[in-house]
Amino acid sequence: MFAAPRAAFGCALVCMTLGCVPQGVSDSSKLLDSEVAECRRLYPDAEQRPVLPRVKCIGEATVKAARVNAQYGYKNLDLDELARAQMILLAERYDAEKMTTSEYVVEKAKIRNASETQAQQRANSQAMVSAAQKQAAAASSPVSCTTIGSTTTCY
């Protein structure tokens, strides 16, 4: 529904590659899955009015998990809270019959897409900054070369 709270949590590259995450993040992901499943059980039809209880239920579960994950480096809590608020406003309009089901579905997709796009832009920006910093550090470090016979090794 919102920017994925299970995105990168600042683990080392090795951890990211192997899939390990801090225990609290793992626990919050399990809790999120469980709570969202319960919301979907209670409110099985995503477009059947009233949708506000379902939207609030899923939104609260998502933001709760994001708050836990923020302790482990998750940086998109603000995006999750914004998407939750936007989804609540949208659900209120839909429940008041101020839009059709098709319009509601399209607007939900736009909110999700905007949140996910912003989260991806942040991740890309952080990666670019990190790469630039590493490149600058490498360029400023002294280069030393050793020649042994016909082989020259620089480091």
- pTM summary value: 0.71
- DSSP secondary-structure letter at 9? -
In the prediction, which pLDDT does 46 show? 96
In the prediction, which pLDDT does 2 show? 52
Give the strand pairing for 151-154 and 145-148.
Answer: antiparallel
Domain ranges in the chain? 13-154
pLDDT at 152 > cutoff 60: yes
Model pLDDT for residues 109-119, shown as the tens digit of each residue: 999 999 999 99
Contact 9, 21 (CB under 8 A): yes
pLDDT at 1 > cutoff 70: no
pLDDT at 12 > cutoff 90: no
Amino acid at 7: A
Q: Mean pLDDT across the chain, nearest whole number?
A: 85
Contact 91, 55 (CB under 8 A): yes
Contact 83, 113 (CB under 8 A): no
Contact 75, 122 (CB under 8 A): yes
pLDDT at 66 > cutoff 60: yes
pLDDT at 19 > cutoff 60: no
